[in-house]
């Protein structure tokens, strides 16, 4: 074909593009910054390889057994025997992949069962499974609000929410993080008759703080806006049924769309949106990130459905996760670390460092001591902060949490973060 011939003719070596026309030149600053950092002898926080994963809380990294405190495995479902068995069975019976879109050949019995499990878990009429949580936000946000309509989002929203806005045609308005007053003010400036979607998150993932949902919901309703809440980091352990912060705070009847992911408490990969809106199913025809991509492999939807059903009865695990969060927060605070929140608000505890150098030194000292945490930096973090994000798991034993605290004490003292 013509395309094949063109490809064949591409030179093996880059041509002589003038430096100012090299499309990579815009990344020169970042490349130089990274090279300078690595030249100082530190390990690259963004190039970690897990050589072996022994459990939700233990891995081997460069030959060293390491406690995992930087995963999204909040409920520790990744090695649950029922979950693993369901995945193996589906792999045997339905093969490795669907090779097609949900709207063509890519809807199997397993996808329907997974949506049934979600409907039951959330007590909603509708559930729609996407291939990732990122695509769920991309699809829902870009499709729900169109030309002449408005999306009003928290300034600290996740990248997938921002990207959903960028992909659609609605006007985008940001309000100050978690500020009910600013949300009210900005909604008040918009045309009354226009359609509006307020996008919130139950837990904000960088610092681990929760949104004041009842107040936000009241303001959004006052201005006639619909509400989408991303519960990625709240599913599994907030609320009596583990639905999320919106359940815990008693605003279930007021949220129009809940978006979530299988990549955190559920322990696999995939995304979803649940809703009671009577017209919700039309989304399956008009939502491009749902239509124009392959559906999840049968093994993945089988593990997700099994995990979701088990999460409905995970009260003990939930209680232990909260115990872990309170102990780690209290212990780190007592040692003198600066934390992202005054109180433990979720399973995420952020340790704020002075600058990039201190953050990387602390991160490396922890890793060498046998503890993995997430390194986070701008633009992912708010207000230019460098932080180490600790995320707890229901499978961390109380002894492991004590071990983790001692590792922080040793690294913090060695690096000079605490006295
Ligand atoms: N929303 C939020 C708030 C997230 O933190 C993430 C992932 N970190 C996503 C959505 C995307 O989820 P997924 O990993 O399933 O793409």
ipTM > 0.90 for the complex: yes
Domains in the chain, ordered, with CATH? 41-75+314-415 (3.90.1150.10), 81-311 (3.40.640.10)
137 CA: nearest ligand 1 atom: 10
Pairs from 352-359 (Cβ < 8 Å, separation ≥ 24)? 352/385, 352/386, 352/387, 353/386, 353/387, 353/388, 353/417, 354/386, 355/386, 356/37, 356/386, 357/40, 358/386, 358/415, 358/417, 359/386, 359/387, 359/388
CA of 174 to the centre of ligand 1 (A): 19
Residues 101-133 have pLDDT tens digits of 999 999 999 999 999 999 999 999 999 999 999
Residues 289-302 have pLDDT tens digits of 999 999 999 999 99
What is the predicted pLDDT for the residue at 11? 61
Q: Mean pLDDT, the chain, as a whole number? A: 95
Q: What percent of the chain has pLDDT over 70?
A: 96
Q: Which of 78, 263, 267 to mutate to test the pocket of ligand 1 (most atoms within 8 A of CB)?
A: 263
| Whether pLDDT at 1 is above 50 | no
CA 310 to centroid of chain Cα atoms: 21
* Cβ < 6 A, ligand 1 pocket: 132-134, 137, 158, 160, 201, 205, 230, 232-233, 261, 263, 271
CA 218 to centroid of chain Cα atoms: 26
CA of 409 to the centre of ligand 1 (A): 31
């Amino acid at each position: 074909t013509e395309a094949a011939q063109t490809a064949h003719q591409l030179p093996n070596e880059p041509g002589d593009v003038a430096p100012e026309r090299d499309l990579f030149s815009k990344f020169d600053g970042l490349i130089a910054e990274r090279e300078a950092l690595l030249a100082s002898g530190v390990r690259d926080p963004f190039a970690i390889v897990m050589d072996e994963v022994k459990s939700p809380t233990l891995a081997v990294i460069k030959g060293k057994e390491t406690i995992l405190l930087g995963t999204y495995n909040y409920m520790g479902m990744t090695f649950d025997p029922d979950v693993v068995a369901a995945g193996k069975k589906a792999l045997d019976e339905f093969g490795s992949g669907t090779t097609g879109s949900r709207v063509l050949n890519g809807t199997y019995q397993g996808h329907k069962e997974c949506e049934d499990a979600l409907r039951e878990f959330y007590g909603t009429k509708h559930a729609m499974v996407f291939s990732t949580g990122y695509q769920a936000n991309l699809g829902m946000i870009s499709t729900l609000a169109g030309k002449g309509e408005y999306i009003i989002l928290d300034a600290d929203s996740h990248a997938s929410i921002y990207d959903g806005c960028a992909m659609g045609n609605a006007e985008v308005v940001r309000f100050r993080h978690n500020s009910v007053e600013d949300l009210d003010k900005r909604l008040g400036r918009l045309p009354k008759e226009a359609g509006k979607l307020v996008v919130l998150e139950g837990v904000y993932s960088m610092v681990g703080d929760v949104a004041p949902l009842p107040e936000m919901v009241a303001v959004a309703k006052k201005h006639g806006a619909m509400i989408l809440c991303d519960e990625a980091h709240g599913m599994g352990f907030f609320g009596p049924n583990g639905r999320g912060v919106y359940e815990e705070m008693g605003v279930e009847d007021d949220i129009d769309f809940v978006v979530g992911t299988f990549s955190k408490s559920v322990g696999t990969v995939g995304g979803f949106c649940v809703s009671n809106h009577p017209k919700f199913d039309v989304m399956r025809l008009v939502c491009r990130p749902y239509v124009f991509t392959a559906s999840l492999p049968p093994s993945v939807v089988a593990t997700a459905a099994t995990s979701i059903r088990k999460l409905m009865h995970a009260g003990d695990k939930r209680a232990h996760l909260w115990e872990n969060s309170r102990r780690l927060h209290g212990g780190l605070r007592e040692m003198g670390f600066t934390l992202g929140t005054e109180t433990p608000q979720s399973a995420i505890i952020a340790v704020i460092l002075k600058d990039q150098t201190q953050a990387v030194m602390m991160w490396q000292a922890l890793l060498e001591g046998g503890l993995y945490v997430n390194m986070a930096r701008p633009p992912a973090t708010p207000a230019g902060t460098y932080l180490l994000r600790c995320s707890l798991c229901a499978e961390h034993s109380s002894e492991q949490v004590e071990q983790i605290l001692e590792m922080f004490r040793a690294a913090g003292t060695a690096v000079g973060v605490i006295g």
